[in-house]
Amino acid sequence: MFETFPQLTTERLELIEIKKTHLIDFFNLFRDERVALYYQIIPFKEAKDAQVYLDLFEFRLKRETGIRWGIALKGFTEIIGTIGFNSFQRNHTGNLAYDLQFNFWNRGYATEAARAVLEYGFDHLQIRRVEADVVIGNTASDRVLVKLGFKFDGAVPTRMYWNGSYYDKKVFSLSREDFNRRGEERDSGNVFPEPLPEF
């Protein structure tokens, strides 16, 4: 499926393969507790903490069970975040995840990157339905998903057990049909207001 890594380009971003040279960027990303907070990651203390995750991304890519892009600003080689499918299954589902350096939050980058990744997932990985789990309280992530057209499927108590604690999570999903329909509406300028459901 991945003879070469599928680099993606958006208006302001390049979504690139995460290489060994990005270790320090990735370390800096997750040494920040604001980024790690809702991610079930203990903020990195040393570079080897970051290497564990880069190895995991590589492992998933080789087995074609997941794919993670580095997010770079156009014209720059360092990565300011990552995005991808933690897991995916052809003709079925993918689980979306993303993160960005704190300094770059609230400029629409995660939403812009996610649109490209969703398009790739639906078109090239034949994913039918993308899911995303969000820890309750991660309002920025909720908002990204709503902007992308995800539906809120419900809050699931103790959805996750990690590091000795249970976490309730909100589950969101987006079908290929809804994503394409929304894209057509955007292209035609007929953009409907984004829903702001209670959750």
| Residues at the interface with ligand COA (CB under 6 A) | 35, 38-39, 97-100, 105-111, 134, 138-141, 143-144
Least distance to ligand COA, CB of residue 106, Å: 5
Nearer to ligand COA, 110 or 127 (CB): 110
* 97 vs 174, beta carbon nearer ligand COA: 97
Cβ closer to ligand COA: 24 or 140? 140
Residue 122's nearest CA partner among 82, 153, 149 is 149
As measured in angstroms, the least distance from the Cβ of 136 to ligand COA is 11
Minimum CB distance to ligand COA smaller for 19 or for 34: 34
* CA 142 – CA 193 distance, rounded (Å): 16
CB of 54 to ligand COA, least distance (A): 17
Dist CA 148 CA 171 (whole Å): 14
> How much is the CA Rg of the chain, to the nearest whole Å?
16
- For residues 145 and 138, is the Cβ–Cβ distance under 8 A? no
Question: Between the CA of residue 120 and those of 16, 52, 109, 123, what are the distances in Å?
Answer: 13, 26, 17, 5
For residue 183, the minimal CB distance to ligand COA (Å) is 17
